[in-house]
Structure 1
């Protein structure tokens, strides 16, 4: 589930960034999918910013909810030598 969330979040983040670049510079004309949605006419930049923010949040939550080992992490270098 974590990998799927990271993939979806990454795609949302990518599409948001591509949409922002397209609206500001005009590049990535075919990759900016937000511009093909007729109900967002005139609000493509705001939708792209929102898409990038949502994608970043999904990736951050997926990373944070990853599997963690139970108990404290103690490496071998942190232990005192036995006498």
Structure 2
């Protein structure tokens, strides 16, 4: 379970960073900008993914291995 939390946290971290890079540098990577539901809220969604990733990493640290 710890590894699953870390993997999901890493994916959320990557998508959050890619979403912010897309907004500030016009790179067209990541999933945040491809979701039509989030039009106009891409920065908020990217920041939320970053916060979620840190929460998942913290939850993974609190769990026992295995």
**Both structures adopt the same fold (TM-score exceeding 0.5):** yes
Detail structure 1 runs of 4+ shifted over 2 Å in the superposition. Answer: 64-67
Q: Give the structure with higher Rg (CA).
A: 1
**Unaligned stretches of 5+ residues in structure 2:** none
TM-score (norm 1): 0.71
The offset of 1:64, in angstroms, is: 2.6
| Structure possessing the higher relative contact order (Cα contacts under 8 Å, 6 or more residues apart) | 2
Unaligned runs of 5+ in 1: 68-83
Query: CA RMSD of the aligned region, Å?
Result: 1.2
Aligned residues between the structures: 65
